[in-house]
Amino acid sequence: MIFIRILLAILFYRGIECQYKSMESDFNIHHDDGGMVVPPNTGNAGGTMMGGQNANGNGDAMYKANKPLDRGPYFDTSATKNVTSLVGRTAHLNCRIKNLGNKTVSWIRHRDLHLLTVAETTYTSDQRFTSIFNKATDDWSLQIKYPQLKDTGTYECQVSTTPPVGYTMLFSVVEPITSIPGGPDMYIDVGSTVNLTCVVRHLPDPPHSVHWTHNNEEINYDSARGGVSVITEKGDITTSHLLIQRATSADSGMYTCLPSNANPKSVTVHILQGEHPAAVQGTMKITAYVINIPILLVFNLYLL
């Protein structure tokens, strides 16, 4: 009897073991690398898996992780934000945009919030403003012809995203200033050295050359007179020094400094023969006074 009970227990255990193996085969239970229990592929076209992912879920996740972010249009900030131009000289404000796509570029003047251009179309009645696109560099340039001092201010390159994004630039229009310190009249003792200094400011670029004239004739530094030279230092501020050694009365007259890209400036040099400038000015006043005496006498006689 005991033997029969042992035999029945063995058969019952075997039956449960077989049933378990059959269930394991049907469901094909397995573990992935992360330890998650995943049911078998059912073989249908969708290849549906636990968590709503398809059979290629891991591959899609890796693709998305390696795909570069689409950040949309953005500005190349290496371009200068400050542009300076001379009065009357055509200027360009360059705006470099990456990943523009199908967006539109506009130029706006901040002073009056005036829309100047959209794409390559000018929207202002002032035809001095033009938008130019360079495909090679992705530059959208605002061209300003014949700029005036009133054009100085902030301009914005704007992209039609939602909301719009912009890149502001400061445009400065300057008029060069040429000066000769000590003018308009300079008094030099005979035999001394004449030192005239011409200073040129507010230039976007140094002048290519600076010429000097004496009584409207260009100075010849290699003349037989000798002792005449010029030293020019170019930079943000350009200076040109005209040196005339052993000055004589022939060196008197008007001297003019002519920078190649700025206005000229003149000074009158008086070579004194031992006289002090105050004495010269006093003589001029006395002469004028003496000349006026006859005029006053005639006027008084007329009244009588």
The number of CA neighbours under 13 Å toward the Cβ of 164 is 13
> pLDDT digit string (tens) for 167-196?
999 999 988 899 999 989 999 999 999 999
Is it the case that residue 47 has pLDDT exceeding 50? Answer: no
157 within 8 A of 166, measured Cβ to Cβ: yes
pLDDT bracket for residue 251 (50, 70, 90): very high
pLDDT bracket for residue 30 (50, 70, 90): very low
- Give the residue-averaged pLDDT of 89-109: 92
pLDDT bracket for residue 86 (50, 70, 90): confident
According to DSSP, residue 50 is labeled G
Phi, psi of 145 (to 5 degrees): -90, 145
Q: Say whether 280 sits in a helix, a strand or coil.
A: helix
Backbone Cα Rg of the chain: 45
State the pLDDT at residue 273.
Answer: 85
Please state the domain extents for the chain: 74-174, 177-272
- Give the residue-averaged pLDDT of 134-142: 90
State the pLDDT at residue 286.
Answer: 36
> pLDDT digit string (tens) for 257-279?
999 888 899 999 999 987 665 54
DSSP 117-186: EETTEE-SS-TTEEEEEETTTTEEEEEESS--GGG-EEEEEEE--SS-EEEEEEEEEE--EEE-TT-SEE
pTM: 0.50
Q: Say whether 12 sits in a helix, a strand or coil.
A: helix
- Give the residue-averaged pLDDT of 157-170: 92
In DSSP terms, 220 is beta-bridged to none
Is it the case that residue 112 has pLDDT exceeding 80? Answer: yes
Q: What architecture is the 177-272 domain classified under in CATH?
A: Sandwich (2.60)
Spell out the CATH class of 74-174.
Answer: mainly beta
Strand order in the sheet with 74-75: 74-75, 91-98, 139-144, 129-134
Do 74-174 and 177-272 share a fold? yes
Average pLDDT of the chain? Answer: 77
